[in-house]
Amino acid sequence: MTASPIPQEAAELEVRAVRRHRHLAPLRHPFVTAARRTEAVEYVVAEVELSGGAVGQGSAAETVAVTGEDARSILAALDGPLRGALEGARGTVGELSARIAAALPGATSAKAAL
């Protein structure tokens, strides 16, 4: 059996960088409800790079009606408190997850992207 490139839960990890990218994906057909018409989905991809070179990705779509978060607020959370809580941090997956949770109240979409 070969070694897994994905760190195990008990392993200590060091976060080298947190990056994010904003995307706009056009829909094939407009999504129409009584409240609005949408022709594209805006979302944010978050990347977490570890000191060993592994990179993980997650994403968060705008869900203003559900969470109150739009792409701008997701980007602000990732660029500010969440990046500050993770970059340079060391710990297990559980410890790093706790840092994310404690860094900022709310911002559930931004946190989920990490």
Say if residue 74's pLDDT is above 90. yes
pLDDT of residue 3: 53
pLDDT score at 64? 86
Q: Look up the pTM and report it.
A: 0.82
The whole-angstrom separation of Cα 77 and Cα 71 is: 10
Length of the chain, in residues: 114
81-101 pLDDT per residue, tens: 999 999 999 999 999 999 999
Token pair recorded at residue 21: 């990218």
pLDDT surpassing 80 at residue 8:
no
For residue 61, what pLDDT is reported? 93
Give the amino acid at 34: A
What are the φ/ψ torsions at residue 68 (nearest 5 degrees)? Answer: 85, 0
Report residue 110: phi and psi, to 5°: -60, -45
Strands (E), 1-113: 13-32, 37-50, 55-61, 90-91
**Residue 80's domain is classified under what CATH number?**
3.30.390.10
In a domain, 6, yes or no: no
Does residue 4 form part of some domain? no
20 belongs to a structural domain: yes
Residue 102 lies in a domain: yes
Query: Residue 5: inside a domain, yes or no?
Result: no
User: How many structural domains comprise the chain?
Assistant: 1
Looking at this protein, which amino acid is placed at residue 106? G
